């Protein structure tokens, strides 16, 4: 079954050529994009959709979220808005609520959050464990996450639970807990920050997870300059996320990690993506991550929601894009690219046209997965021009219309 989508005023492909097509059309067959080009040249298809002169872009790729949780942290948010500094300890509040919630209710809550994200144009997302923090509950979170998200990250190293010895808990994260979650996860992460895990503990966790065959990610440099970025680059992590406080050597290390990669062809050695989380920065009143400086240095940048109950309770990637344009000095094209292709790059999903359905996401090109976001606006510029407005008109996820 093929479908022609025509009368697209602006088609922002975010492909390797950075094409923006006017008066465009595309054909999708099953889950894949089969053709793109000028509307006047469109081939016949089994069915047709009139885009009505609206703008089309790839579906958002949210490469950093925490959707498996229960409970409420509005009191913490109110205190922070009143001037209290953010600290990592609030994670324990969510841990207790999550442990006390049934499998059914935890799944229902997570599925609702995925549905919210999809309704706003997110078509591919990662989520993490990290609110169980013992073997039983981390394994449960990983199992449930694997049923509701596209990729799952193990974050047993989110916080050392109260009353536990940090070294003993790190041993648990590297041993029995890792073994319990391994069937359900593709990635491992660590909160490398003061008040969470120090550099040596973080290294132990990452190396144990790498030895177990997992890809690596790092929460780093959120609350101050620290070892997170350097550790991520040294160990070849796919991304380091937050990156609010960067020393010149951190930017240099991130840029150097991409020296063997050709952005024009998308080939060569991938470096470490710097994932910026602007909704979290605003909620925690941290300085916004220096996305402009990172891009100018040659670093590949992603934008993600960091949807979580304590510091970024939103899945709106459009909000992140608008913030990146209005406050982080990215162009609209750069911000949309970071929220689509950049997220795919951070998840190693920017390429692939395999027969088993493992297709590239984050860009619109023939053979890629048909993850599409149609705006109720004539151009993507409206995402920043009309911030906060509900601009999602239609969404296709793997070729299936989801909205």
pLDDT at res. 280:
97
More confident residue, 80 or 247: 247
- With a cut of 60, say whether residue 355 has pLDDT above it: no
- Chain mean pLDDT for the chain: 96
Instruction: Read off the pLDDT of each residue in 335-357 and give the average, rounded to a whole number.
Output: 88
pLDDT tens digits for 259-313?
999 999 999 999 999 999 999 999 999 999 999 999 999 999 999 999 999 999 9
pLDDT tens digits for 161-184?
999 999 999 999 999 999 999 999
- With a cut of 60, say whether residue 356 has pLDDT above it: no
Sort strands 400-401 and 151-157 into parallel, antiparallel or unpaired: unpaired
What is the CATH topology of the domain spanning 60-330? TIM Barrel (3.20.20)
- With a cut of 80, say whether residue 358 has pLDDT above it: no
- Domain extents for the chain? 2-58+362-401, 60-330
Q: In angstroms, rounded to a whole number, what is the distance separating the alpha carbons of residues 286 and 129? A: 24
Sort strands 273-276 and 239-242 into parallel, antiparallel or unpaired: parallel
pLDDT at res. 93:
87
pLDDT tens digits for 15-33?
999 999 999 999 999 999 9
- With a cut of 70, say whether residue 186 has pLDDT above it: yes
| Residue position matching structure tokens 């400086």 | 293
- With a cut of 60, say whether residue 192 has pLDDT above it: yes
User: pLDDT band at residue 86, thresholds of 50, 70 and 90?
Assistant: confident
Q: Which of 182, 184, 66 is closest to 114 using CA atoms?
A: 66
- With a cut of 60, say whether residue 60 has pLDDT above it: yes
pLDDT at res. 88:
63
Coil, strand, or helix at residue 126? strand
What percent of the chain lies above the pLDDT cut of 90? Answer: 93
pLDDT tens digits for 92-111?
889 999 999 999 999 999 99
Contact 402, 118 (CB under 8 A): yes
Q: In angstroms, rounded to a whole number, what is the distance separating the alpha carbons of residues 365 and 116? A: 26
- With a cut of 90, say whether residue 89 has pLDDT above it: no
| Residue position matching structure tokens 């047709």 | 48
Coil, strand, or helix at residue 56? strand
The architecture that CATH gives domain 2-58+362-401 is: Roll (2.30)
Instruction: Read off the pLDDT of each residue in 242-253 and give the average, rounded to a whole number.
Output: 98
């Amino acid at each position: 079954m093929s479908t022609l989508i025509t009368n697209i005023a602006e088609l922002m492909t975010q492909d390797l050529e950075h094409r923006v097509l006017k008066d465009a059309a595309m054909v999708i067959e099953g889950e894949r994009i089969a053709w793109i080009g000028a509307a006047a040249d469109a081939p016949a298809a089994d069915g047709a959709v009139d885009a009505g002169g609206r703008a089309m872009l790839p579906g958002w790729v949210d490469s950093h979220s925490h959707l498996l949780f229960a409970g409420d942290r509005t009191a913490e948010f109110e205190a922070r808005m009143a001037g209290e500094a953010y600290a990592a300890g609030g994670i324990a509040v969510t841990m207790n609520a999550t442990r006390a919630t049934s499998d059914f209710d935890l799944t229902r809550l997570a599925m609702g959050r995925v549905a919210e994200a999809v309704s706003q144009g997110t078509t591919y997302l990662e989520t993490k464990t990290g609110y169980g923090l013992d073997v039983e509950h981390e394994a449960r979170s990983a199992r449930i996450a694997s049923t509701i998200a596209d990729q799952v990250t193990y974050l047993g190293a989110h916080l050392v639970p109260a009353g536990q010895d940090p070294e003993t808990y790190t041993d648990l994260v590297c041993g029995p807990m890792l073994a319990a979650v391994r069937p359900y996860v593709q990635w491992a992460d660590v909160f490398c920050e003061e008040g969470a895990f120090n550099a040596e503990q973080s290294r132990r966790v990452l190396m144990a997870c790498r030895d177990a065959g997992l890809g690596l990610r790092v929460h780093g440099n959120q609350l101050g300059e620290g070892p997170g970025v350097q550790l991520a680059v040294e160990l070849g992590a796919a991304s380091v996320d937050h990156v609010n406080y960067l020393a010149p050597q951190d930017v240099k290390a991130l840029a150097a990690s991409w020296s063997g990669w050709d952005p024009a062809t998308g080939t060569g050695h991938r470096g470490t993506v710097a994932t910026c989380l602007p909704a979290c920065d605003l909620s925690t009143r941290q300085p916004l991550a220096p996305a402009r400086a990172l891009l100018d240095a040659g670093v590949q940048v992603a934008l993600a929601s960091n949807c979580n109950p304590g510091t970024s309770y939103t899945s709106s990637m459009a909000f992140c894009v608008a913030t990146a344009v209005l406050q982080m000095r990215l162009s609209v094209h750069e911000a949309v690219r970071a929220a689509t292709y950049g997220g795919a790059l951070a998840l190693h999903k920017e390429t692939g046209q395999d027969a088993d359905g493992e297709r590239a996401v984050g860009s619109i090109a023939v053979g890629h997965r048909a993850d599409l976001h149609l705006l109720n606006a004539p151009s993507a510029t409206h995402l920043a021009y009309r911030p906060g407005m509900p601009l999602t008109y239609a969404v296709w996820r793997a070729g299936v219309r989801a909205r």
